[in-house]
Amino acid sequence: MNMHAKHSADATTVEEGLAIQEEQAKFDDDFATETAMSNTLLTPRFYTTDFDELDAIDVTSVRKDWDALIAQMESDPNKGHFKKNEDWDHVDWDGMEPQLKAEFIDFLISSCTAEFSGCVLYKEMKRRGSNKDITQLFQLMARDEARHAGFINDALREAGLRVNLGFLTQSKKYTYFRPKFIYYATYLSEKIGYARYITIFRHLEANPEHRFHPIFKWFEEWCNDEFSHGEAFALLMKTDPKLTESFANKLWIKFFLTAVYSTMYVRDHQRPAFHAALGVDPDWYAHEVFTKTSVLTGQIFPLMLDIENPRWQRNLERMQRANVQIAQGKKAGGFGGFVKRMIGSARAGAAFVSLYTIPAIKHDVPDSTVLRPAY
């Protein structure tokens, strides 16, 4: 794709930035017309929460670590990183094996949507809050998510796909998250996101022949953003010890860990060609990511899942088979399809209960949550 001498991410004045963008827009309009891009609809989710509760957070008890993290995010070490340079190799989309292409595009769209939903959620929290510490954090995180979404969007455009924001003018329902569930879920999604991206990045560093798309070269800095976001949520949880220490909340934490890990396992197994092209065995990958995530989340969660327990792998596989059955039932339709789906759901439920009831490994949480990306 075309190379620009300068990118708007490097612009020092507004005028310069606009000029660069205008230049780029001209090119891209031509590009769009040339390739008759097809639409891909983004379907983000919309959330509300208890904004008063969020506003009442007091970060005084973690002030030193908090200020250091915010200062680091404000300095924006990744500004200008998410752009194409000479490392962006040509991608032979037409020559790509169709199944791989479908799975890879699916991967890009899911990633773009997740970044986009994160951005909408963080921006809403920024807008509805009045606590300066909290609004500042969410503003910074919204910035990163929008930047990542823009970068993935560019890769999609290169593949001839244009994102469609049609959802904006459609009815959208706002669902509800309790603040503590936002902490658990977003914390975990940021940390597991880091573990996922860095595992692929390191694997491709050692096996560059499997890097079938240049976007993987950008995963290292990318996941460092995810890492910082996770650090922020760890500090937020640290301000209220009940969130991680009460009996009920420990059960919730275990639930979130089990749900996120098992969902990842099932979904990754739906992309066999993608993982084969990367030279990654999805079972090995899952185990790597879970191991890293367990170590990382030890900074704040007082328990980790026992992924070495024989029941763990066995039930993940059961869940995966049940999921295939559900998909087949959906596809078949009719009464037979319905029955198949229901049996599949019951099996998936049973597998989940079995995973959830594996005794967790308890451990002591360090006084300070601060971690550096070390993988």
Partner 1 sequence: MGLLTRTKEEVPCVVTISHRFEELSAHVKFTDGSVVGPGDTVKVHGAEIMAPYGEVVEDERMATITRASGIERLWTRATGDFEFMELCEFSFSEEVTV
Collapse the DSSP code of 348 into the 3-class scheme (helix H, G, I; strand E, B; otherwise coil) and give the result.
helix
Q: Which stretch binds partner 1 (CB under 8 A): 161-169, 211-219, 306-314, 347-355?
A: 161-169
Binding mask 252-271 for partner 1 (x = CB under 8 A): ----x--xx--xx--xxxxx
Query: What is the distance between the alpha carbons of residues 127 and 122, in angstroms, rounded to a whole number?
Result: 9
List of long-range contacts for 309-314, beta carbons under 8 Å, 24+ apart:
309/358, 311/354, 311/355, 311/358, 312/355, 312/358, 313/283
Phi, psi of 175 (to 5 degrees): -95, 180
Least Å from the CB of residue 327 to partner 1: 4
Is the CB of 153 or the CB of 294 nearer to partner 1? 153
Nearer to partner 1, 65 or 227 (CB): 227
How far is 117 from 175, CA to CA, in rounded Å? 13
Among 75, 170, 362, 372, binds partner 1 (CB under 8 A): 170
Q: Which residues pair with 161 in a beta bridge?
A: 38
User: CB 80 → partner 1: shortest distance, Å?
Assistant: 9
Interface of this chain with partner 1, residues 181 to 200, rule: CB under 8 A: 181-182, 184-186, 189, 192-193, 196
Rounded CA-CA distance 278/284 in Å is: 13
Cβ 329 vs Cβ 264: under 8 Å: no
Site for partner 1 in 37-96 (CB under 8 A): 43, 45-48, 82-83
Cβ neighbours of residue 71 under 8 Å, at least 6 residues apart? none
22 contributes a contact to partner 1 by CB under 8 A: yes
271 by Cβ neighbours in 10 Å (0-12 / 13-18 / 19+) ranks as buried
Of positions 87, 132, 171, 372, contacts partner 1 by CB under 8 A? 171
- Supply the minimum distance, in Å, between the C-beta of residue 64 and partner 1: 29
Site residues (CB under 8 A) for partner 1, limited to 345-374: none
Nearer to partner 1 by Cβ, of 42 and 361: the residue is 42
Task: Please tell me whether residue 110 binds partner 1 under the rule CB under 8 A.
Answer: yes
Minimum distance from residue 68 beta carbon to partner 1 (Å)? 26
Site map (CB under 8 A) of partner 1, residues 220-259, x = contact: ------------------------------------x--x
Residue 375 touching partner 1 (CB under 8 A): no
Question: Which of these, 73, 121, 107, lies nearest to 196 by C-alpha position?
Answer: 107
